[in-house]
Amino acid sequence: MNKYCIFIQARMSSSRAPGKVLEDIEGKPMLLRQIQRLQKSNKDIMLACVTSTDVQDNAIEELCINHGFNCFRGSLDNVLDRYISAADFYEVENIIRVGGDDPLVDADQINILIDEHIKTKSDFIFTSHKKGRPYGCAAELISVAALQEISKLTKDNLYLEHIIPWFHNHPNQFKTLQINSSEDLHRPEYYFTVDYPEDLIVVKKIFNGMKDSGDFFTFKDLISFCDLHPEILSINKHLHQGFDI
């Protein structure tokens, strides 16, 4: 049994920016950059790309196969079932969820989430909130047992398509823990996720501007660079409101 596994949730279909996960960023597909950055910082933790059986996602599986990464395919719309099925396939007790449209996710926070889980045994530990990591840099650690219980309690499409809201909407059902960022890294006004074409422009400019630091610059390096180049983040600032909590 694997205690922990990083699940990168990715798909090609997107209403705002279809195919964005494989967009070229400085010579590499965006998803490949994300997987390699996560793997580099978390060599001892299993990692899998969790995508759908939709034909559009064949390209994601092909990328994973070509580069030797795990890839699980499940339901397109029932993401809750996809996660539970992937956890069963890889024999995982706890997943660390990362969005496939977050190429600048803080890879070093994975160990923070795991350390807190070891200490608290919480079912849901998250940095995806206004006092946590910036939008597009956050992650969540989730107990598979909790997901299995949720699947027995609801057929509401909201909770089948999105696995996070249940924990926020039913705060007393599971043990949850919010992880805050230190003051020097707290930037709730920064948005790094790729939802819109403008977001992709921002990410490309960041990778281009930081290429002298190599492919594996740290989250601290990212914040320092963006603090010095506010004109880059002004490109997409009007498109996002950040986390709800």
Question: Each residue of 131-155: pLDDT tens digit?
Answer: 999 999 999 999 999 999 999 999 9
Amino acid letter for position 80:
L
pLDDT for position 242: 79
Task: Please state the domain extents for the chain.
Answer: 2-239
pLDDT, one tens digit per residue, over 41-68 is: 998 999 999 999 999 999 999 999 999 9
Q: Residue 216, SS3?
A: coil
Lateral strand order in the sheet of 140-143: 70-74, 46-52, 2-9, 92-99, 140-143, 124-126, 176-178
- Helix boundaries (H) for the chain: 30-41, 58-66, 79-90, 109-120, 144-153, 157-161, 165-169, 197-209, 219-228, 230-233
CA dihedral 206, 60, 143, 130 (to 10 degrees): 30
Distances (CA, A) of 45 to 39, 94, 110, 178, 210: 8, 11, 9, 22, 26
The number of angstroms, rounded, from the C-alpha of 122 to the middle of its chain's C-alpha atoms is 19
How would residue 1 be classed by pLDDT, with cut points 50, 70 and 90? confident
How would residue 15 be classed by pLDDT, with cut points 50, 70 and 90? low
pLDDT for position 245: 84
Residue matched to tokens 């400019």: 205
- Which pair of structure tokens corresponds to residue 185? 């890294």
Cβ 179 vs Cβ 2: under 8 Å = no
- Which residue would you say has higher pLDDT here, 8 or 243? 8
pLDDT, one tens digit per residue, over 172-217 is: 999 999 999 999 999 999 999 999 999 999 999 999 999 999 999 9
Percentage of the chain surpassing pLDDT 90? 93
Q: Enter the pTM of the model.
A: 0.95
The CATH architecture one would assign to domain 2-239 is Alpha-Beta Complex (3.90)
